[in-house]
Amino acid sequence: MSADATEPVVILPELWQRPEMLAALRKRDIGYVFRLIRQYAGASQTRIGVAVNLSQGKISEIMKGSVQVTSFEVIERVAEGLRMPDAARLALGLAPVASAASQVVATVSHPVPVIPPRDGMSASGLLSVESPVTVGQSQSAAPWDVDVLTLAWIVGRLDAHVDRRTMLLLAAGMTAEAAATIAAPWKRLAHALTGPQTLDEETVERLEARTIGFHRLEFALPARAIYQGLTTHINELSNLLQNSPPDRLRRRLATTAGEAATLASWIAWDLKQPGQSVSFDRVAALAAKESGHPIIQACTHAYKSYALEGRAAHEAVRQAQQFLPAQGDDATRAWLLSRQAEELAALGDRHALDLLHQAEDAYSRARPHRERAWTRFLDPGRMAAFQLSAYVRLGDEHRVIEIGQAALSALGQDSDRKRAAVVYADIAQAQLQIGDVAEGVAYGRRALEAAQRSESTWGLQHLTTVEKALAARQDQTARELLGDIVATRRSLGTSPA
């Protein structure tokens, strides 16, 4: 290998801004990216290979198009090796590298206030062909609303599991300059909204990715930070459906509209918008029928079960299971079996243990990051959290200790706080049940802080059993925690359930 071959590839900033380069990055056409670099930067295949840690032969195959780069790890290696600027990384669907921690805090902790859409909006209007809708419109467009739509699209395109830290870094990188470099593809969406003749498969793929992204953002950002952007997304899907697209595209649009509506219903409940939550439930039902995917309603009923208690919650899960297909969709199946186990355990029914085993079996066959937009949340840590919840409610102290450790191990520094609130609350309840007040209060405090920081109604609701256990204690720390939980509940308002 010559000395020149080991020299770094020098790429002028202007090359990353060329329209053909941005188009190649958005499509993840790495072969075309390499060809443009050879054309404009004069880099040989060998020098490119050294930069991105691939052989010259492999670079040649990629440039000819005989090999496609689909691995997230390889795409990341290419971006790092070529020293792509943040705008190019965002176009490729990768997190920026230049974002400072202070930017993350500023972007996420202080979003523009969200103006909720009008409560009681007719759901039929969202999928009908009679009239357009104005879901989620406000008096002026907020920067956060614009960014969150693009952010959801980027997050939805990422192939690998996306942790909370990556999402926050992406959010911090969504500056006006970076967003402008990837805004061009959405001009096609603007044209498609005015008539069916300009709608194409690529536009539908972008909308599908954006729906996936919103589901991923839900466990990293507060509900209020994404609600208005999500309703705008549904509004765009609705307008496209009203333009009578071809059947093959119409079914896909209806599917992604239903997947988005299930999430919107859940978030509306979290934001104390019961009327809007019900409206989005109706949208999901219409979309399930239009698309031929009844499993969309399985997700709707599963989300609804979290807003209920006792037999009503168990019945909601049972209704959800009726929409499962006989085969496949194992991630959704594992989720519903776990939820059923939780609710049966709360009723003292030890059949919950059989359901946990069935859930584990279904999860072993599942591909959560490939099945449905809503199954992206399911991972070993979440499965451990379901098991912990069931064993706590059954009073099985031995298994609580074992499963609790597994659930805690899954809670890394960057885990979503909504899950953390639930896990800490379950462990707090278990510790209080066995009489360890100090540990119970400590974990209860962690659960409350996680629920407060994530603004999660779900997390706060999980503290109900901890409240009841604390009410019987006279310890000063227990009374203080109880007072803080009650005060937080009052400040956030009563759940519409």
Q: Which residues of 379-407 are buried (b: 16+ CB within 10 A; e: fewer)?
A: eebbbbbbbbbbbbbbebeebbeebbeeb
CB neighbours of residue 8 within 10 Å: 12
Q: Tokens for 351?
A: 């059949």
- The secondary structure of residue 161, as a DSSP letter, is -
Q: Is the pLDDT of residue 317 over 80?
A: yes
For residue 391, the one-letter residue type is: Y
Rounded to 10 degrees, what is the CA torsion of 138, 139, 144, 145? Answer: 40
Q: Is the pLDDT of residue 83 over 60?
A: yes
Does residue 218 or residue 302 have the better pLDDT? Answer: 302
Name the residue ranges covered by the structural domains of the chain: 3-84, 96-290, 379-497
pLDDT at 19: 87
Highest mean pLDDT among 230-239, 257-266, 373-382: 257-266
CB 212 within 8 A of CB 154: no
Highest mean pLDDT among 103-112, 237-246, 347-356: 347-356
Q: Is the pLDDT of residue 190 over 80?
A: no
Question: How many residues are recorded in the chain?
Answer: 497
Q: Do 3-84 and 379-497 come out as alike in CATH topology?
A: no
Q: Give me the chain's average pLDDT, please.
A: 79
**What is the rounded average pLDDT of the residues 142-160?**
65
Q: Tokens for 365?
A: 């066959």
Positive or negative, the CA dihedral 293, 297, 298, 302 is: positive
pLDDT at 492: 66
Does residue 417 or residue 101 have the better pLDDT? Answer: 417
Q: What is the 3-state secondary structure (H, E, C) of 305-374?
A: HCCCCHHHHHHHHHHHHCCCCCCCCHHHHHHHHHHHHHHHHHCCCCHHHHHHHHHHHHHHHCCCCCCCHH
Query: Which of 228, 202, 230 shows the shortest CA–CA distance to 216?
Result: 230
Q: Is the pLDDT of residue 99 over 80?
A: no
Position 488 confidence tier, pLDDT thresholds 50, 70, 90: confident
**What is the rounded average pLDDT of the residues 301-324?**
93
CB 160 within 8 A of CB 72: yes
For residue 207, the one-letter residue type is: L
Q: Tokens for 204?
A: 């539908």
- The secondary structure of residue 9, as a DSSP letter, is P
Highest mean pLDDT among 17-31, 59-73, 342-356: 342-356
pLDDT at 197: 57
Position 419 confidence tier, pLDDT thresholds 50, 70, 90: confident
Q: What whole-number percentage of the chain has pLDDT above 90?
A: 30
pLDDT at 412: 61
pLDDT at 193: 62
pLDDT at 195: 60
**What is the rounded average pLDDT of the residues 395-415?**
75
Q: Which of 32-46, 343-357, 406-420, 453-467 has the lowest mean pLDDT?
A: 406-420
Q: Which of 211-215, 359-363, 405-409 has the lowest mean pLDDT?
A: 405-409
pLDDT at 130: 28
* CA–CA dist 43, 60 (Å, integer): 13
Its CATH class, for the domain covering 3-84, is: mainly alpha
pLDDT at 143: 36
SS3 state at 139: coil
Q: Is the pLDDT of residue 189 over 70?
A: no
Q: Tokens for 349?
A: 């029914």
> What is the CATH code of the structural domain delimited by 379-497?
1.25.40.10
* CA–CA dist 226, 232 (Å, integer): 10
